[in-house]
Structure 1
Amino acid sequence: MLHLYRLLFFILCGLLCLPSCIRDDSPSGEEGIRRGDRLPDFSVLLSDDTRISTSDLEGVVSVLVFFHTSCPDCQQELPVVQRLYDCYRDNPQVKIYCISREESAGEVAAYWLANGLTMPYSPQPGREVYDLFSEQGIPRVYVSDKQLMVYSVYSDSPIASFEQLQADVEYCLK
């Protein structure tokens, strides 16, 4: 019986020590850039070799998604964002970009292909761009208005729904 308790204790300790790709942030999910803040100045190279920067987002509604393909919550959020992208892909007033955190171009490309994703993405091997927005936690979704002001921020608790993201985009389009 003592052996069973000891085993359960070690299993519990092991589970508590597992690293998480998503629960390394504050409980509110809103440290760093918050609603009402201006988007930070950044520049990324997309998978199609197009460079985008903060200035390219002025005058359009933008949705920026930070992710890692091995993160379970990101794996749930990305199809939601793909649905949003499909809804607005032909609207020049809405731009949706996914930016990886600490992940190679090959890893992201393979995930996109395997999951039928078509959204523009920027593979980032480091955290430099991500750190401009937040210190910890993915997924992280920022919806910004035409003046580069952040209208909403979503993290993993809970992840953003299609309806929430669409309502935010529609509000910012007005």
Structure 2
Amino acid sequence: MKRNLLLLLLAMVSGWLLAACNDGEDGIKPVDTVRVGDRVPAFQVTLHDGTTFDSRTLEGKVTVITFFNTTCGDCRRFLPQLEAAYRQVKTAAAPLAQTRFVAISRAQNDADVTHYWTAQQFTVPYSAQGDRAIYRLFAQAVIPRVYVINREGKVTAAFNDVDTPDATKLQAAIAAAWQ
């Protein structure tokens, strides 16, 4: 009896964690609105330090945009890789060190994201978004999502929960975008 109850509880928790990574809306498939070769849609967010990130100013530098939610298991596994890539790129030689990073939460408030960022000692710039408006400019479902954008404002690499990159793979995509 205890074993069955434990298995049921495990199944429920697993389902909850998976739902955190998926959109949670029945009938919506993981549709990519933005794909490799596309220009980044126009959007503007306020970062945790009060500065503004505006997608209309992407040209001239390579940029990495990540969508996440800290309750998503796949995101929790990926975010340390993003942080590692960020730290390594920021200490690299130019032009690699000029790469911009922004992590944007999908439907998660500032207090929760800030708490997680602080606990994990992350330094990647982030913007907590309480809704899915910015996220839906890029996709309809599934996180994490990572977009590497070249100096012309076009997506040169895109990753999701199926092919989430480690720090090395992400750095390679960033280096390729500078070419």
Same fold (TM > 0.5):
yes
More displaced 10-residue stretch of structure 1: 17-26 or 69-78:
17-26
Structure 1 unmatched ranges of 5 or more: none
Give the match for residue 15 of structure 2.
18
Whole-angstrom distance in 2 between the partners of 1:124 and 1:141: 16
How far did 1:154 drift? 0.5
Larger radius of gyration between Structure 1 and Structure 2: 1
Give the match for residue 117 of structure 2.
112
Whole-angstrom distance in 2 between the partners of 1:72 and 1:111: 13
Structure 2 length normalisation: TM-score?
Answer: 0.83
One-letter identity of the residue aligned with 2:83 = Q
Find runs of 4+ consecutive structure 1 residues off by over 4 angstroms: 23-26
One-letter identity of the residue aligned with 1:63 = V
One-letter identity of the residue aligned with 2:73 = P
Secondary structure of 1:163's aligned partner: helix
Distance 1:134 1:86, change over 3 A: same
Percent identity of paired positions between Structure 1 and Structure 2: 33
Secondary structure of 2:60's aligned partner: coil
Alignment of 1:1-174 (within 5 A): 11=8, 18-19=15-16, 20-24=19-23, 26=29, 31-89=32-90, 93-174=98-179
Whole-angstrom distance in 1 between the partners of 2:57 and 2:49: 16
How many residue pairs get aligned? The number is 165
How far did 1:92 drift? 5.3
How far did 1:35 drift? 0.5
Structure 1 length normalisation: TM-score?
Answer: 0.85
Structure 2 unmatched ranges of 5 or more: none
